[in-house]
Structure 1
Amino acid sequence: MLKTVSVESEMGEGFAVTTQLGDHQIFIDQPVNAKGSGLGPTPLQMLLFAVGGCIATIARIAAFQQKIVLRGMKIKVDGDYNPEALMGKPTADRAGFQQIRISAEIDADLNAEQKQRFLDEVCARCPLHDNLLHGTVVNHQLA
């Protein structure tokens, strides 16, 4: 059974984009030095944050299910992209990230091998990790 998640975003005159997610108003923007107003992270930063956040959330669920005492995690997500494409300049590179690297420190009473297996399982269960790893059909149209 599929479940649909929906988000509506709105942009005004500047670069700032806002959405209301439950009780939370979220902003995406560009830095002031890039002609934005600096109200929030860039879309690229938000995507990487969402991946790290999703991995952490799935880790909490998996730890609970496996009765692992997960005291915490630190997740670093790095992404490499060529900004020429999004600026409309000719490039052989695609507009998106060419590579995304995830590094996780896991604070739990597990040895290194167990931590790696746990991280592998968590990433396999993470919907955002899955979306980035496999091509997902994306449709766009005028409303």
Structure 2
Amino acid sequence: MAKKTVQINAALKEKFVIDLEARNFKMKIDQPVAMGGNNEGPTPLEYFFFSLGGCICTVGRIMANQKRIDLKGIEVRVEGDLDLDVLLGKDQLQRAGFQDIRIYTKIDAPMTKEEKEAFLKEIDARCPISDNVEHSSPIKLLIEE
């Protein structure tokens, strides 16, 4: 088994601004002004969907290279619905996460609809982000001093 450890660093600053570092990249998370933020970056939920859409595109490119498919591009739109009352602490009976996640995909390649459906199904099976959503990995919360 080939293992790889992935690591990011996140540091909460003023209000909801969070500075992010991954390898040599720096980004920000924030909330819209209407939610008390400064609107300096996407929200954590939007980054989550970026991760899912990006993983689908990346795995699609890997598979196309492996299968020698002339893949010109993949466009992905990810959306989902969640109960904000749970997030805001008003309801503890429902799930905090998305009730469902919808992924709309356009595949620009010389493939039939059936071939695209099979290709997308294999992408989903090989995408680590999809796998973590569909089969939750244990999360260990550790305190560092």
Q: Same fold (TM over 0.5)?
A: yes
Post-superposition offset of 1:142: 1.6
Distance 1:24 1:84 in 2: 33
> Within 5 Å, which residues of 2 pair with 1:114-133?
114-133=115-134
Structure 2 residue ranges without an equivalent (≥5)? none
Q: Which amino acid aligns with 2:138?
A: V
Which residue does 1:71 correspond to in 2? 72
Q: Give aligned pairs, total.
A: 143
Q: Which amino acid aligns with 2:89?
A: G
Post-superposition offset of 1:91: 4.4
> Within 5 Å, which residues of 2 pair with 1:54-93?
54-93=55-94
Q: 1:74 to 1:131 in 2, by over 3 A?
A: same
Question: Would you say the 8 A contact 2:76–2:104 is kept in 1?
Answer: yes
Q: Which amino acid aligns with 1:129?
A: S
Structure 1 residue ranges without an equivalent (≥5)? none
Question: Would you say the 8 A contact 2:82–2:99 is kept in 1?
Answer: yes
SS at match of 1:9: strand
Distance 1:112 1:39 in 2: 40
Distance 1:75 1:17 in 2: 26
Which residue does 2:30 correspond to in 1? 29
SS at match of 1:3: coil
SS at match of 1:98: strand
Q: Which runs of 4+ in 1 moved over 3 A?
A: none
What is the root-mean-square deviation in Å for CA atoms of aligned residues? Answer: 1.0
Post-superposition offset of 1:83: 0.6
Task: Report sequence identity in percent.
Answer: 41
Which residue does 1:43 correspond to in 2? 44
